[in-house]
Amino acid sequence: MRQRVVVAGLVVVLVAVLGLAFWLPGRGRPGLGGGAGGSVGIVAIEGVISDGSSSGGLLGAVVGARTVVEQLRQAEEDGNVKAVVLRLNSPGGSAAASQEIARAVQRLREAGKPVVASMGDTAASGAYWVASAADKIVADPATITGSIGVIIQVQNLQELYDKLGIDSQVIKSGPHKDMGSGNRPLTSAEKDIFQGMVDDIYDQFVEAVAAGRGLSRQEVARLADGRVYTGRQARQLGLVDTLGDYREALSLAASLAGLPEPPAVKTFTRPSPWSFILSQIQSAPYHLRLPAFQPDYWLLAPAIEPAQ
């Protein structure tokens, strides 16, 4: 009898603990999945912007334009989402992918949903392109932003190949079909072609920022020499609206949409457990990340060495 009582007591305690475990995490979490009166949608852009799907990898997170555009579309079509906060922590990435995300942000605004860009550590270059499409930009004072510019990098590996005894044979249909190849240096004509491409994408970038920020093209061009700015400098130059953190960005989005404080939140970007595990490895210093994964047309902030 005593044995039954003891074992039954233990079972009751364990079941009660399980009940508590499932009950406790849900408490005090307002707005998970969105409140009845409307919510603020959260879409994160964290990592190098590229085309295709987002992925977390050992060499750094990649933000896929297809994934982000789909998340923005879901936020646009979700009747309960009244405003969206774009959380940016990205050094930029591919030009076309940044354009696609910026266009999706514009569609959200056209659908009547205010968009607030919230800048974290870094929101530079292609990430700034995306942010400039938002209604408001909120940055931390020490955020690294700006870097409005375009870069194409081509490596000439000819001497290395010579040392290795690699002789590349190229058969091409036109004189510029292998321009940018690592087998040989660029010709002056090819440099001109690349420069023309860089200038054209740069013009598109400047126009997008000018339109998004309500600045003249000349004003943006004056700031757009490729340099990075701190959040506070960017605020003084008109590239950022408000200095503040993520919570303040959330409040701003809520007030723009007429939602009560604190707003209910619906998250459209959800990290997988696998990406969480990899994110621990990705915390490695910047210089451990492989430059070989850069796209050809690069809208990137210069590398920033972490504080020692």
Partner 1 sequence: METETGNGGHMPRDDQPMSLIELVYAVLFRPVSALGYVARARPVKEALVVAFAVYIFQGLLASARLPAELTARLPAEAGLVPGGLPASLGFPVFVTSVLAAAVGWFLATAVFHLLAGFMGHSGSGTALFAGLGFAALPLAFGATGNFILGSLAGLGSLAALTTVAGLAWSLSLVAVAIRETYGTTTGRATAVLFLPLAAIIGIIIIITVTMVIAALPLVNYFGAHSL
Q: Does 273 bind partner 1 (CB under 8 A)?
A: yes
Please say whether the beta carbons of 61 and 275 come within 8 A. yes
Q: How many CB atoms lie within 10 A of CB 28?
A: 6
Compute the distance between CA of residue 209 and CA of residue 130 in angstroms, rounded to an integer. 9
Stretch that binds partner 1, among 31-39, 66-74, 205-213, 233-241 (CB under 8 A): 31-39
Q: Does 188 bind partner 1 (CB under 8 A)?
A: no
Q: Does 306 bind partner 1 (CB under 8 A)?
A: no
The yes-or-no answer on residue 177 being catalytic is yes
Binding-residue total with partner 1 (CB under 8 A): 51
Task: Please count the CA atoms within 13 angstroms of the CA of 161 that sit on its side-chain side.
Answer: 13
Compute the distance between CA of residue 87 and CA of residue 245 in angstroms, rounded to an integer. 10
Minimum Å gap between C-beta 181 and partner 1 is 20
Q: Does 227 bind partner 1 (CB under 8 A)?
A: no
Nearer residue to partner 1 within complex by CB, 219 or 271: 271
Compute the distance between CA of residue 221 and CA of residue 32 in angstroms, rounded to an integer. 42
Annotated catalytic residue: which of 53, 177, 191, 272? Answer: 177
Which residue, 191, 190, 188, is CA-closest to 176?
190
DSSP conformation class of 292:
G
> In the range 284-303, which residues lie near partner 1 by CB under 8 A?
286-291, 300, 302-303
Compute the distance between CA of residue 78 and CA of residue 1 in angstroms, rounded to an integer. 59
Compute the distance between CA of residue 234 and CA of residue 255 in angstroms, rounded to an integer. 23
Annotated catalytic residue: which of 39, 98, 118, 125? Answer: 125
Q: Does 174 bind partner 1 (CB under 8 A)?
A: no
Q: Does 189 bind partner 1 (CB under 8 A)?
A: no
Stretch that binds partner 1, among 76-84, 207-215, 236-244, 266-274 (CB under 8 A): 266-274
The yes-or-no answer on residue 113 being catalytic is no
Nearer residue to partner 1 within complex by CB, 18 or 111: 18
Compute the distance between CA of residue 81 and CA of residue 66 in angstroms, rounded to an integer. 20
Minimum Å gap between C-beta 204 and partner 1 is 23
Ramachandran bin of 226, using left for φ above 0, alpha for ψ from -120 to 50, beta for the remaining angles:
left
Q: Which of 65, 139, 215, 265 touches partner 1 by CB under 8 A? A: 265
DSSP E strands, 48-170: 48-50, 62-64, 81-90, 92-94, 115-124, 136-139, 144-146
Stretch that binds partner 1, among 101-109, 191-199, 205-213, 279-287 (CB under 8 A): 279-287
For residue 264, give the amino acid letter.
A
Q: Which of 30, 196, 238, 260 touches partner 1 by CB under 8 A? A: 30
Question: Which parts of this chain interact with partner 1 (CB under 8 A)?
Answer: 3-4, 6-7, 10, 13-14, 17-18, 20-22, 24-26, 29-33, 42, 44, 46, 87, 89, 120-121, 245-247, 250, 265-267, 269-271, 273, 276, 279, 283, 286-291, 300, 302-303, 305
Which active-site residues does the annotation give? 125, 177
